[in-house]
Amino acid sequence: MGRMKATVRYFGPCRLQTGRETDEVELPEPATVAGLLEACCRLHPALQAARRSLLVAVDQEFSGPDTPLAGGEEIALMPPLSGG
């Protein structure tokens, strides 16, 4: 089993909670969005409280926890969208 890397971009409150715009996250293969979220919460425990409500986009497409990751993707973490 190898390892893969993904670039994670933080938006809105996620950026405030992490104090960062981006992270390079390394994960064991096979990797999924759920595993990536776990890794991000280990790096930034402040994300844990909002973990279940975070929206995740993989290469600009909203994705669920079982979405596989191959490496090299750009992942966006953001709070739920609101508006009217």
Mean pLDDT of 11-18: 92
pLDDT tens sequence across 28-82: 999 999 999 999 999 999 999 888 889 999 999 999 999 999 988 999 999 887 5
| pTM confidence score | 0.89
Beta pairing, strands 3-10 & 74-78: parallel
User: Which H, E and C letters describe the chain, residue by residue?
Assistant: CCEEEEEEEECCHHHHHHCCCEEEEEEECCEEHHHHHHHHHHHCHHHHHHHHHCEEEECCEECCCCCEECCCCEEEEECCCCCC
Euclidean distance between CA atoms 71 and 68, whole angstroms:
9
Q: Residue 83's pLDDT is what?
A: 53
Separation CA 60–CA 62 (nearest Å) = 7
